[in-house]
Chain A
């Protein structure tokens, strides 16, 4: 398996622009997670899905952030409009309900810089 795939790996944009981050989970996994990593706040959960349905979006910072999972093999995290404080590394992870210990497999991350 190729593992969790994220694109783009790096994104540089200007304040006010729309940014879309993409994730392909491991085939057969039914959980998908979006995390954000910053120096100030560390690793924090933004949202997660189970069988394409959002379960917990309490970590989504504000209405500028939205996430979708239209099918089992694809998810997007959109920021519109972007702000400099959104600069961070965004990780996608997936896991399987058939694995009791909830082990999550992480993608390589997308490093977002908002100027």
Chain B
């Protein structure tokens, strides 16, 4: 079975500072990896996805993530935080097997952006 670990349930940065949200995965087969964002009282919106085409993945709102197989990591970064980035971020993993198509989510990281 696959799993995801997000280090840090809360991260606080200053506006304009680098954002780094950590995600490590475990999977016995090549995974598909995702980052979703959830704004207060809203659903989940896809930020970016890793599909094995490229290890550096660019997403919406200036976010990007790098797949590192040797480290089993898929950390999310943004060079300069904006106040509107304050939200909860979820890393998720799935695989191509029909019997295991569901997403397994990490516990989430709440990002706070200080003015």
A48 touching B101, Cβ below 8 Å: yes
In the docked arrangement, what's the CA distance between A48 and B94, Å? 13
A43/B101 contact (C-beta < 8 A), A102-B32, A109-B43 known = no
Q: How far is the CA of A102 from the CA of B103 in the complex (A)?
A: 9
Shortest CB distance B60–A (Å): 13
Q: Indicate the member of A45, A102, A107 with the most B CB atoms within 10 Å.
A: A102
Determine whether A103 belongs to the interface, using a CB cutoff of 8 Å to chain B.
yes
A115 at the binding interface (Cβ < 8 Å):
no
- Chain B CB within 10 Å — which of A56, A104, A105, A107 has the most? A104
**CB-defined contacts of A44 to chain B, threshold 8 Å:** 105
A95 touching B43 by the CB < 8 A rule?
no
Residue of B nearest to A95 (CB): B101
- The size of the chain A interface, using a CB distance under 8 A, is 24
Residues of chain A in range 46-70 having any CB-CB distance to chain B below 8 Å: 48, 50, 55-56
A50 to B86, CA, bound (A): 35
Q: Supply 29 A–B pairs (Cβ within 8 Å), ascending by A.
A: A31-B101, A33-B102, A33-B103, A42-B107, A42-B108, A43-B90, A43-B105, A43-B108, A45-B103, A48-B102, A50-B98, A50-B101, A55-B98, A55-B99, A55-B101, A56-B99, A56-B100, A91-B44, A93-B44, A95-B101, A100-B96, A101-B49, A101-B50, A102-B94, A102-B96, A103-B49, A106-B36, A106-B44, A108-B43
Residues of A at the B interface (CB closer than 8 Å) are 31, 33, 35, 42-45, 48, 50, 55-56, 91, 93, 95, 100-109
